[in-house]
Chains A and B, each alone.
Chain A
């Protein structure tokens, strides 16, 4: 059962531009998390936003959460070639493991 669905599936931007990825989910959640995966590697935790939070920042990352719309967005500002990776949202809906979406493939062109 995949809870989160990222949009778009793939995104290609120029270095220095901002990248925005969206995640929609179906049921109530305790928190939502974003992860990055470089090709052929494991996932790396980026940021966690709780259900009672609306916005959170970490460096060049900005995450928003709208529980009424069951959606979240991840904004990467001033993107760099090193940001090229797949980005996944994951939802915590209770006392069960995280459920991951299918991811957004981001390509940042130098």
Chain B
């Protein structure tokens, strides 16, 4: 079945530690996105990518990094520079940049311990 897979479902990070969230899709979508969701604040865009080896910053890119070495994969690294990383992270993909509906993964909940 085609879909988008995020892993892990839950992730715990110690202070000063970098962690990487995985996002893989087999939908042959061109574009992929990372959103952060905090309670009561909706979804905020972190990074997005339209093609392999290219990506753009979103509204809250500071403290995060991404790569797009393969069409199917768009991992997100939460660095130690991100001071408040506890949140629900959602990855999505689509065929065209914002022209059609997005397919979302089931999310990764990151908690700082």
Q: Is the CB of A42 within 8 A of B104?
A: yes
Contacts of A80 in B (CB 8 A): none
- From A40, A44, A48, A103, B100 is in contact (CB under 8 Å) with A48
Q: Are B97 and A96 in contact (CB under 8 A)?
A: yes
What 1/0 mask marks residues of chain A from 36 to 51 whose CB sits below 8 Å from any chain B CB? 0000111111001000
* Contact of A30 with B105 in the complex, beta carbons under 8 Å: no
Which residues on A sit within 8 Å (CB–CB) of B98?
30, 92, 94-98
Q: Which chain A positions have C-beta within 8 A of B102?
A: 35, 43, 45, 90, 98
**A side interface size, CB within 8 A:** 26
A99-B107 in contact (CB<8A)? no
A5 CB → nearest B CB, Å: 9
Q: How far is the CB of A65 from chain B (nearest CB, A)?
A: 16
A25 at the interface (CB under 8 A from B): no
Stretch in B13-21, B34-42, B62-70, B72-80 with 4+ CB within 8 Å of A: B34-42
B41–A97 CB distance below 8 A = no
- Listed in ascending order, the chain B residues whose CB lies under 8 Å from chain A are 6, 31, 33, 35, 40-45, 48, 58-59, 88, 90, 92, 97-107, 109
